[in-house]
Amino acid sequence: MVAASSASEALACLERDVFDLVITDFAMPHMNGAQLADEIRRRWPVPVILSSGYAELPSDLARTLPRLPKPYAQADLRDVLEAVMLGRARGR
């Protein structure tokens, strides 16, 4: 597991190493989680999960990104990870 404190730091990590999955928050300075996900998907074949405490997110995100609502339990994390890794997750 690698933690990044910003979208630019996350992109730098992805440039250096290979990752199986990225989980990102929606609310970040300079680039939100959806923008980060778009950039990741443009450059690497890495699944992205959007974690957010916002009840309402832009409607296009619901169709394109698996979502892990905050707060979440360990079972919620397990379920979304399983769905993403098995290729059956869409926005939640």
Write the DSSP symbol of residue 20. S
Return the closest-CA partner of residue 54 out of 40, 69, 32. 69
The number of beta carbons lying within 10 Å of the beta carbon of residue 30 is 9
pLDDT one-digit tens code per residue, 1-35? 999 999 999 999 999 999 999 999 988 889 999 89
Please name each of the domains of the chain with its CATH number.
7-85 (3.40.50.2300)
Cβ pair 57, 26 in contact under 8 A: yes
> pTM for the complete prediction?
0.84
Q: What three-state secondary structure class fits 9?
A: helix
The number of beta carbons lying within 10 Å of the beta carbon of residue 80 is 21
pLDDT one-digit tens code per residue, 70-82? 899 999 999 999 9
Measured CA to CA, the distance from residue 68 to residue 76 in angstroms comes to 7
